[in-house]
Amino acid sequence: MTIQVGQQIPETTLKRIREGIETVDTHALFAGRKVVLFGVPGAFTPTCSARHLPGFVEQFARFRDRGVEVYCMAVNDPFVMKAWAASQDVPDGLLMLADGNGELTRALGLELDASASGMGARCRRFALYADDGVVRGLWVEEPGQFAVSGAEQVLAHLP
Protein backbone atom coordinates (compact mmCIF):
# COMPACT_ATOMS: atom_id res chain seq x y z
CA MET A 1 0.00 0.00 0.00
CA THR A 2 1.30 3.44 -0.94
CA ILE A 3 2.27 5.76 1.89
CA GLN A 4 -0.36 8.40 2.62
CA VAL A 5 -0.38 12.00 3.81
CA GLY A 6 -0.19 12.00 7.59
CA GLN A 7 1.99 8.89 7.82
CA GLN A 8 5.57 8.72 9.08
CA ILE A 9 8.41 8.05 6.62
CA PRO A 10 9.36 4.38 7.18
CA GLU A 11 12.70 3.69 8.80
CA THR A 12 15.19 2.13 6.41
CA THR A 13 18.71 2.93 5.31
CA LEU A 14 20.00 4.47 2.11
CA LYS A 15 23.51 5.01 0.73
CA ARG A 16 25.35 8.07 -0.49
CA ILE A 17 28.93 8.75 -1.47
CA ARG A 18 30.98 11.63 -0.14
CA GLU A 19 34.50 10.79 1.00
CA GLY A 20 33.35 7.17 1.10
CA ILE A 21 30.06 5.31 1.10
CA GLU A 22 27.85 6.44 3.96
CA THR A 23 24.84 4.58 5.29
CA VAL A 24 22.11 7.05 6.22
CA ASP A 25 19.00 6.32 8.28
CA THR A 26 15.73 7.76 7.01
CA HIS A 27 14.53 8.79 10.46
CA ALA A 28 17.75 10.78 10.98
CA LEU A 29 17.49 12.30 7.47
CA PHE A 30 13.95 13.57 8.00
CA ALA A 31 13.88 14.35 11.74
CA GLY A 32 13.41 18.03 12.51
CA ARG A 33 13.54 19.03 8.83
CA LYS A 34 11.22 20.06 6.04
CA VAL A 35 12.14 17.84 3.11
CA VAL A 36 11.07 17.22 -0.45
CA LEU A 37 12.05 13.71 -1.49
CA PHE A 38 11.62 12.91 -5.14
CA GLY A 39 12.06 9.48 -6.59
CA VAL A 40 12.90 8.53 -10.14
CA PRO A 41 12.88 5.20 -12.00
CA GLY A 42 16.59 5.45 -12.75
CA ALA A 43 19.63 7.66 -12.98
CA PHE A 44 20.60 8.57 -16.54
CA THR A 45 17.18 7.60 -17.92
CA PRO A 46 15.62 10.05 -20.41
CA THR A 47 12.87 11.85 -18.46
CA CYS A 48 14.80 11.69 -15.20
CA SER A 49 17.88 13.30 -16.77
CA ALA A 50 16.17 15.74 -19.12
CA ARG A 51 13.35 17.01 -16.89
CA HIS A 52 12.90 15.66 -13.38
CA LEU A 53 16.32 16.14 -11.76
CA PRO A 54 17.13 19.30 -13.78
CA GLY A 55 13.95 20.96 -12.52
CA PHE A 56 14.99 20.44 -8.91
CA VAL A 57 18.52 21.62 -9.70
CA GLU A 58 17.13 24.80 -11.30
CA GLN A 59 14.70 25.47 -8.44
CA PHE A 60 17.01 24.36 -5.61
CA ALA A 61 17.57 27.89 -4.27
CA ARG A 62 13.81 28.49 -4.10
CA PHE A 63 13.35 25.38 -1.95
CA ARG A 64 16.26 26.42 0.27
CA ASP A 65 14.81 29.94 0.60
CA ARG A 66 11.69 28.30 2.02
CA GLY A 67 13.70 26.23 4.48
CA VAL A 68 13.15 22.99 2.59
CA GLU A 69 15.82 20.34 1.99
CA VAL A 70 15.76 18.44 -1.33
CA TYR A 71 16.63 14.75 -1.66
CA CYS A 72 16.69 12.68 -4.87
CA MET A 73 16.35 8.90 -4.67
CA ALA A 74 16.61 6.08 -7.19
CA VAL A 75 16.97 2.31 -7.11
CA ASN A 76 20.57 2.57 -8.25
CA ASP A 77 23.89 2.07 -6.51
CA PRO A 78 25.65 5.02 -4.85
CA PHE A 79 28.39 5.13 -7.50
CA VAL A 80 25.80 5.65 -10.23
CA MET A 81 24.06 8.32 -8.17
CA LYS A 82 27.35 10.15 -7.65
CA ALA A 83 28.20 10.03 -11.36
CA TRP A 84 24.69 11.21 -12.27
CA ALA A 85 24.97 14.11 -9.82
CA ALA A 86 28.28 15.16 -11.39
CA SER A 87 26.85 14.95 -14.92
CA GLN A 88 23.84 17.09 -13.91
CA ASP A 89 25.78 19.75 -11.94
CA VAL A 90 23.79 18.95 -8.80
CA PRO A 91 24.48 21.67 -6.21
CA ASP A 92 25.97 20.91 -2.81
CA GLY A 93 23.14 20.25 -0.40
CA LEU A 94 20.83 18.47 -2.85
CA LEU A 95 21.26 14.93 -1.54
CA MET A 96 21.54 12.09 -4.01
CA LEU A 97 20.42 8.91 -2.26
CA ALA A 98 20.84 5.35 -3.48
CA ASP A 99 18.09 2.89 -2.61
CA GLY A 100 20.07 0.09 -4.24
CA ASN A 101 18.01 -2.76 -2.82
CA GLY A 102 14.71 -0.90 -3.12
CA GLU A 103 14.05 -1.07 0.62
CA LEU A 104 12.64 2.45 1.02
CA THR A 105 10.86 2.17 -2.31
CA ARG A 106 9.01 -0.96 -1.12
CA ALA A 107 8.36 0.51 2.34
CA LEU A 108 6.75 3.54 0.66
CA GLY A 109 4.67 1.24 -1.58
CA LEU A 110 6.10 2.92 -4.68
CA GLU A 111 7.76 0.03 -6.47
CA LEU A 112 7.59 -0.35 -10.24
CA ASP A 113 8.25 -3.52 -12.20
CA ALA A 114 10.34 -2.37 -15.14
CA SER A 115 11.41 -5.89 -16.10
CA ALA A 116 9.90 -5.54 -19.57
CA SER A 117 12.50 -2.82 -20.22
CA GLY A 118 15.32 -4.85 -18.70
CA MET A 119 15.49 -2.61 -15.62
CA GLY A 120 14.00 -4.92 -12.96
CA ALA A 121 12.45 -3.50 -9.82
CA ARG A 122 12.52 0.29 -9.74
CA CYS A 123 10.85 3.23 -8.06
CA ARG A 124 7.78 4.95 -9.43
CA ARG A 125 8.26 8.61 -10.27
CA PHE A 126 7.03 10.67 -7.30
CA ALA A 127 7.66 13.58 -4.97
CA LEU A 128 6.66 13.94 -1.36
CA TYR A 129 6.91 16.72 1.16
CA ALA A 130 7.60 15.74 4.75
CA ASP A 131 7.81 17.87 7.87
CA ASP A 132 9.71 16.23 10.73
CA GLY A 133 9.33 12.84 9.04
CA VAL A 134 5.56 13.07 8.50
CA VAL A 135 4.28 13.16 4.92
CA ARG A 136 2.36 16.40 4.32
CA GLY A 137 2.13 16.23 0.51
CA LEU A 138 2.41 13.38 -2.00
CA TRP A 139 2.48 13.44 -5.79
CA VAL A 140 2.77 10.07 -7.56
CA GLU A 141 2.96 9.82 -11.34
CA GLU A 142 1.08 7.36 -13.46
CA PRO A 143 3.49 5.03 -15.30
CA GLY A 144 5.19 6.79 -18.19
CA GLN A 145 3.96 10.23 -17.09
CA PHE A 146 5.66 13.38 -15.80
CA ALA A 147 2.92 15.80 -14.77
CA VAL A 148 2.63 16.13 -10.99
CA SER A 149 6.03 15.50 -9.37
CA GLY A 150 8.21 18.18 -10.92
CA ALA A 151 9.88 20.98 -8.96
CA GLU A 152 7.49 23.74 -10.10
CA GLN A 153 4.44 21.64 -9.23
CA VAL A 154 5.81 20.78 -5.79
CA LEU A 155 6.78 24.40 -5.07
CA ALA A 156 3.24 25.50 -5.96
CA HIS A 157 1.80 23.15 -3.34
CA LEU A 158 4.16 23.70 -0.41
CA PRO A 159 2.64 25.36 2.66
Active site (catalytic) residues:
48
- Asked if 76 contacts 154 with a C-beta cutoff of 8 angstroms, the reply is no
* Sequence-separated (6 or more) residues with CB below 8 Å from residue 116: none
Other Cβ atoms less than 10 A from the Cβ of 16: the count is 19
Q: 126-157 burial, b if ≥16 CB within 10 A, otherwise e?
A: bbbbbeebebbebbbbeeeebebbbbeebbee
